[in-house]
Amino acid sequence: MPEAITIWTYDWVPEGPRGFVRDLRLRWACEEAGLPYAVRTVAFDDRETNHLGRQPFGQVPMIEDGDIALFESGACLIHLARKSETLMPRDAGAEAEVLQWVLSALNSIEMVSVPWWFLTITGDVDNKLTGWLDTRLRQLENVLAKREWLAASRFTAADLIMADVLRVAKLRAHGDRPATEAYVARVTARPAFAKARADQLAHFAAADETRKGD
């Protein structure tokens, strides 16, 4: 039995982000790969200062794997993917393609989608990021119209992270991108995603009970 990986998340978060806190990416990866893992927590309250030794921005997630401690969900995902052919093929060319699309999800799509989403939910009626977002999403739609998976002609860590970036409700409801919508539905229909999501929701629901008792 390999030594268990530890995934770190918050002890509690408000309703809004539940099901989207980024430890889900790492839970999902471990579920896909059959890697045993434990979940541990840092306090959500005082998060800006209470775990800066583990995550210099006070965010989550982090992982520990033996002597290795990492933050940034993308870096953690790549670390996990290197342990599992399910997530990342051993072939050097296919591996490079997976890495390219993992970074693309984070640095070309999430880089604009998160600020766009934030402006939208904070009531910005003239969201100046919409044009930029629409261009990126249209370009990605063109890619997904021609292929089922981003890399290696099969599900990989690249699809896990791209679908996680794209599955945000406000993004899905914005515009009409049938290939992207089918892609998000296909990737998030995987049992490992359902398990990771249900476990995260249960984790925060249990935290509500603990808070009530405090």
Chain residues in the site for ligand GSH (CB under 6 A): 21-22, 47, 58-60, 72-74
Q: Name the minimum Å distance from CB 88 to ligand GSH.
A: 18
DSSP 201: H
Q: Provide the residue type at 203 as one letter.
A: H
Q: Is 10 or 89 the residue whose CB approaches ligand GSH more closely?
A: 10
Q: Name the minimum Å distance from CB 36 to ligand GSH.
A: 22
Q: Is 74 or 89 the residue whose CB approaches ligand GSH more closely?
A: 74
Q: Is 85 or 208 the residue whose CB approaches ligand GSH more closely?
A: 208
Contacts of 137 (CB under 8 A, 6+ apart): 109, 171, 175, 177, 180
Q: Provide the residue type at 4 as one letter.
A: A
**Tokens representing residue 148 in the block:** 């089922």
Q: Name the minimum Å distance from CB 72 to ligand GSH.
A: 5
Give residue number: closest CB to ligand GSH.
59
Q: Is 8 or 155 the residue whose CB approaches ligand GSH more closely?
A: 8
Q: Name the minimum Å distance from CB 76 to ligand GSH.
A: 7
